[in-house]
Amino acid sequence: MTVIAILVGLITGVISGFGIGGGSLLILYLTAAMGTDQYTASGINLLYFLACAPAALISHIRNKRVEWQAVLWCTLAGVLTSAGAAFFAARIHTDLLRRLFGVLLLYIGVKELFCKKEKQKDRSAQ
């Protein structure tokens, strides 16, 4: 089981380095396969993010993919809302938190699916 956990960590780390969302996959693995409770899995994911984010950020800066104006606004919004979100998450039942996370993942997946189709249409029109 330890070998599988290490492989999952490596694979999701590489995926996170590309900015694709390996942390979401890590949470799914921790909760579904390892039986970790949602709060602990979320905490592990935050620590995991601290290790993966700098590598991804350096890569994106080198490739000139960072919009610094957006970074400023997103940082301000994140700092202001994180305490409130943590307070809220600590007071709701774990099952509801899991369902909300699942709905969020489905929403993002559907949105990405349709955004990619729109981008492909734009490219083919040019």
Q: Is the pTM of this model over 0.85?
A: no
Reading the block at residue 15, the tokens are 């995926």
74-94 burial code (b ≥16 CB/10 A, e <16) = eeeeeeeeeeeeeeebeeeee
- The string of pLDDT tens digits covering residues 50-95 is 888 887 788 889 999 899 999 999 999 999 998 888 888 888 888 8
DSSP string, 70-85: HHHHHHHHHHHHHHHH
Model confidence band, residue 17 (pLDDT cutoffs 50, 70, 90): confident
